[in-house]
Amino acid sequence: MRTEDPPSHSRNDHGPHFVQSVARALAVLRSFSGERPRQSLSDVARETGLDRATARRLLLTLADLGYVAGDGRMFELTPRILELGYAYLSGMSLPEIAQPHLQKLAAELNETAALAVLDGDDIVYVALVPSARLAAVKINIGTRFDAYATSMGRVLLAGLPAAELDRYLDRLHLTTRTERTVRTVEQLRHEIDKVRSQGWALVDSELEEGLRGAAAPVRDRAGRTIAAANVSVHAGRTTPELVEREHVPAILRTARLIEADLVGSALR
């Protein structure tokens, strides 16, 4: 997870309604991740860009509210943090509808299958059927990745209106995650155009070395891309040609089945 630098936020950036203390508290929560499940006060201050006094007040407030626990030196999130995402997920029919289709897809291919949505510049996993064959990659519901480096992200970016995609590309700062990661915005735009043309995406070892993913869009009744269905495989067991020939048709079929159930759910 990435954390915006809270001190850079101001009412001038967001308008007179903006409450900076809320932004800072959320930055503290987002500073915790799978790589940083427990942090000291200094860690939180460094990750958020806040001074130690402000970080301490926010951590203690979040502890009073039950979202953070600490022993005075180290802090960690509590299970209560799940409440913040539960309202969103429980109000969505999409993950529940997609889950049985993802289970069938995962069983058919014996690989990890997932569904993600676009949240800002990231993808967020909202449904997942993990495979033991990809156990080394830690992915859970709520996991976030840079959209540009993932197959689901490319599909979701390809579904954006042209003006929205332009704004995303204008503000994007590419990070080289592996030797295969796209290096320029022009290269990324070319890849997105390719996805838009062919209707699916294949990303090979750009997010993580040895991880190959393919994805297809899930669209609503109006034809808007609202999610992406994906299968992730270890590159050592497949080739891009094999994924395109055997995995992509199954992913496309799964996406269409999810769409059909979404329409049926909306009509009931």
pLDDT in tens, 15-70: 788 899 999 999 999 999 878 899 999 999 999 999 999 999 999 999 999 999 98
Phi and psi of 203, rounded to 5°? -120, 125
pLDDT value at residue 131: 84
CATH class, range 6-83: mainly alpha
Region(s) of the chain under CATH 1.10.10.10: 6-83
> For the domain 92-267, what is the CATH superfamily, name and number?
GAF domain (3.30.450.40)
Region(s) of the chain under CATH 3.30.450.40: 92-267
pLDDT value at residue 176: 87
How far, in Å, CA of 156 to CA of 171, rounded? 17
Nearest to 255 by CA among 233, 235, 226, 232: 226
Element (H, E) at 260: helix 248-267
pLDDT band per the 50, 70, 90 thresholds, residue 118: very high
Burial class (CB in 10 A: 0-12, 13-18, 19+), 255: buried
pLDDT value at residue 48: 95
The model's pTM is: 0.71
pLDDT value at residue 1: 39
Kindly state the tokens that stand for 52. Answer: 């130690």
pLDDT value at residue 63: 94
